[in-house]
Structure 1
């Protein structure tokens, strides 16, 4: 769909039923909360239920293993207006990530195709789909993607599968290509979660903290701002498009580390900064052009990154407590 044809107002903006896949994950739990806060009925789907609430209903299902018919029956029974794909775990091999991402999306799309009322699918992609770019590049949605890591390649394959389903099978879907995320409850595999664990361990043991920080600048966004964009995308007529979701800024990774150390109140005299060069797996530079999302979703990031990092530590401290 040409961008000029995309207009807001599916369902007149009236809250309906949102089904969130991966509802117990870092992004999914925030998406559930964002829909619920706006009056939507929320049904969560994940492999297993966790302690925190995921909406007013929940179904335990391994989407990568489920029959497409079973997935479609669930959407039909719930009369889903919006389906959000925030699912897909991390794996140690390309085969594992293909299973948890691409196989899941293939079954999801096959299950969606025969659903009578055609719910909107909001698929959450990744900035890493673009691959490494030269320093200073503003990454636009029409840039040719050149991913290099197994994770980035499989994420691009899922986004392409969604867009092909729009063209070939008339599925109503949009891809949100999200920047690196901060904020409460980051995935355990993320850089920030790993750093939080190291800080917490050093605090508990009274030891020193050694830090080697990549000389990289990246576009980071709070996960709650991503969730707000998902809600907007569920209601706007933007089917068939890719929209970048970020802050539109390249922030030094050193700044995020400093804010996290600050949030933890870690004693500066117990930190050893090493000069060893650290190469970022996601590239040394990311900065998304978010103009399309601003125009078509009437959306903008609202949470500052320092507040986001502090909120991440506070949520972690509450959970640990």
Structure 2
């Protein structure tokens, strides 16, 4: 029987922001890992030396079969960490079919390939957007799911597919509902590199390094303490660590599936985040106040009780200034690369 140390892991979207950090966490833990990514938003440089990179579509059944065979997956061996997909909420409102294709349709194809091969474990990159505008704050996993944008619906549909397929076909899964992921690898090995990213801390750090002229603040009339949106920010390396521990939990109890929030349980407003970037960068970012964006809830804060009770997960970077400092260091590294290119 595979142990967590010998279980081969395929990371889809492993050349992207969160996926690349999961690859680092697996490598640091001595786990065998490979990456499948079409590089539409990911970067080959984000995949560490020695990690096999398969470039292609997760919906390509022949490619999936080849990857599983070459990595020793199937017939009760192996795990998939599934990060590949589209993640921009406003874009999902403008182009919903792209999101139902990338996030739902292609996930269905990947799950089908895993079932045919007999891959026993899947960890899915889900989202707090499945809750929509929560009735309760902090929000718990069993609170109502009522997405207010196609991005959230596309992820919730995949959660449902996983649950139904796991019951029918005998694998287990873990759906991790992320809150706002930010920061970068503390050792500078990876970070958020996507051009045109919309994540607040990424955008603010670009402004702090001169890559942007200002930061847009979308909405100042929300029912929050300072009128701007409130979010629960989680450091990407803490999130990656949770994935490794979730894999251990699936291996240890192969008949159990899990759905868990990934957040710290504390929210910060847009203004508080921008103040933190000013503080860490020792500069003042220009702020431009604009109308609300479609699909944005006023506040989204996790109740992390379940993940803390289920996994031996102890976040190492639960501090807003630390998250900002790591994100800023990565942005400065990217700026240096661009200057020397």
Pairwise same-fold verdict (TM > 0.5): yes
Residues 162 and 253 of structure 1, relative CA distance in 2, 3 Å threshold: same
Matched, 1:51 2:68: no
Q: SS at 1:298's partner residue? A: coil
**Structure 2 residue aligned with 1:264:** 281
Count of aligned pairs: 301
Q: SS at 1:113's partner residue? A: helix
Deviations 1:117-139, CA, capped at 9 Å, x for gaps: x33110010011111124x6221
**Structure 1 residue aligned with 2:339:** none
Distance in 2, matches of 1:231 and 1:273, equals 38
What RMSD over aligned residues (CA atoms) do the two structures have, in Å?
A: 2.4
Distance in 2, matches of 1:61 and 1:37, equals 25
Contact 1:85 1:121 in 2 (8 A): yes
**Structure 2 residue aligned with 1:35:** 26
Moved more, 218-227 or 158-167: 158-167
**Structure 2 residue aligned with 1:313:** 328
Residues 76 and 52 of structure 1, relative CA distance in 2, 3 Å threshold: same
Contact 2:217 2:270 in 1 (8 A): no
Query: Counterparts in 2 of 1:1-321, with a 5 A limit?
Result: 11-48=2-39, 50-54=44-48, 56-64=51-59, 66-67=60-61, 69-80=62-73, 81-90=78-87, 92=91, 93-116=95-118, 118-134=119-135, 137-184=137-184, 185-186=191-192, 187=194, 188-201=197-210, 209=214, 212=217, 214=219, 215-237=228-250, 239-266=256-283, 268=284, 278=292, 281-303=295-317, 304-321=319-336
Contact 1:16 1:41 in 2 (8 A): yes
Distance in 1, matches of 2:217 and 2:111, equals 42
Q: SS at 2:116's partner residue? A: coil
Distance in 2, matches of 1:105 and 1:94, equals 16
Distance in 1, matches of 2:211 and 2:72, equals 49
Contact 1:105 1:158 in 2 (8 A): yes
Moved more, 32-41 or 277-286: 277-286
Contact 2:85 2:102 in 1 (8 A): yes
The alpha carbon displacement at 1:281 in A equals 3.7
Distance in 2, matches of 1:320 and 1:169, equals 48
**TM-score, normalising length from structure 1?**
0.85
The alpha carbon displacement at 1:305 in A equals 2.2
Contact 1:128 1:282 in 2 (8 A): no
Deviations 1:43-77, CA, capped at 9 Å, x for gaps: 1110136223345211111113x12x431342233
